[in-house]
Structures are given as C-alpha cells and as structure tokens.
Amino acid sequence: MSELILVVDDEPKIARLARDYLEKNGYRVLTAGDGQSALTTARREKPDLIVLDLMLPNIDGREVCKILRRDSDVPIIMLTALAEEVDQITGLEIGADDYITKPFSPRALVARVRALLRRSRGEIKAPTIIRIGALEIDSEKYTVTFNGNPVKLTPNEFKLLFILAGRPGQTLTREQLLEDLHGAASGIDRSVDSHIKNLRKKLETASGESMIETVYGIGYRFIEK
C-alpha cells in the first residue's frame, strides 16, 4: 500500500494543489484545514508524513508540531509563507524535518516528500549496528538505545547520529552533514545546527552526558569516551 500523506493548510487551493500532485505521484492523501483537525487526523490515521502549514487557525503549525513531537517521530515538512530564516529555523528547532516556502513548486514538494520518506524508512546502505559504550544504533531496525532504553529520534536526527557516531572523533563540517542528509549541500547551514541541538538534548537526557561536540566555525564531532 502506498504511503499516506497528511497535508495541513487553511487555504483550500493550496491543499488541493498539493493533494493532486501527491496523488498523481502515487501517494494517498488526507487534508486538514486547521490545527485541531490536523492533530485529530494524525492521531487517528497515523500518516507516514505530514506537510504542515505554519500559519493555521485554531492551533498554529508551531504548536501542532510541538504536540506531535511529544509522542511521534512522524516526518514533518513545514510549509510557510514566511521566507525569513528565523521562521525556518524555528520550525526545525521544534522538530520539523524540512521546510518549503510559499509560493512553492508542486514538483519540488513531491521531491521533498519522496526524499524525506526515503530517509524515514532508514534507507542506509549496508545495515550496521554501531555500539559505543552503552549507546547502540541499529540502522536495520532503525532504533537507538542507551543502556537498553529507547531514544526516540526524528529521521534527520537518526541519520546525523549514524553519520557522526560512525566516525567518532572526526570533525564533520556543516556542508558535509548537509550533503549526507540531502544528497547535496543544499538548504541553510543553520538547519544542521537545529537538528544537532535537538539530537544533543535527547542524547543528554538519555545518558546524562554530552556526546556531540561543537567545533566552532567548522562543524561537529562525536565524542568517544
């Protein structure tokens, strides 16, 4: 069965445009026009990915994303008419995996959806288990545990951890990490910073230790203790 996409936008024309293009590319699509409907539909239907407008009536997209992230790692693409970098970063910091600004190309949206679904399915070649101390990263099962306790990560957080932990002690630049995430050094550098910030917080909560070190002006490295 094809993947189920939830498109959340209060502008019917935009929701219909996104739905039509996604359906033409083989996806099943549900739509919602406000934040409360989005939460209700997401909980009931459990979509494989959500395209979420930032500016929504009732409950805005930021709050919807925060609520979803309390108990779900569903991939989220934030859709916004606000082109300022700060708004894009805010979306990433609260748990969105990617963003696209209005007006957008429907083909670009489909490409982003397809790429994010590939990452969320854990399509990492040569399934491998990385064990560093009490941390275990299983790219086949797509799970992370610390002392046997699960650590819930978004697709981008998982891939960043897999990349960094696979090369412990090695400093990787933001450009290298962007290329590994998206297949090209696309997007804004701060998107990596936002994902790393969330990843670091989750790892510190699970372990009580700082596992990812910032190399100022360059990038990040995984600390092997």
pLDDT digits (tens, 9 = 90+) for 34-73: 999 999 999 999 999 999 998 899 899 999 999 999 888 8
Domain 4-120 CATH assignment equals 3.40.50.2300: yes
Q: How far apart are CA 75 and CA 43, in angstroms?
A: 14
Q: What does the domain layout of the chain look like in residue ranges?
A: 4-120, 129-222
Task: Output Rg (C-alpha) for the chain, integer angstroms.
Answer: 17
Q: Which residues of the chain have pLDDT under 50?
A: 124, 184-186
> Looking at residue 184, what is its pLDDT?
47
> Looking at residue 102, what is its pLDDT?
83
DSSP state of 167: S
> Looking at residue 185, what is its pLDDT?
45
> Looking at residue 35, what is its pLDDT?
95
9 CB-contact burial (10 Å; exposed 0-12 / middle 13-18 / buried 19+): buried
> Looking at residue 183, what is its pLDDT?
55
User: Domain 129-222 adopts which CATH fold?
Assistant: Arc Repressor Mutant, subunit A (1.10.10)
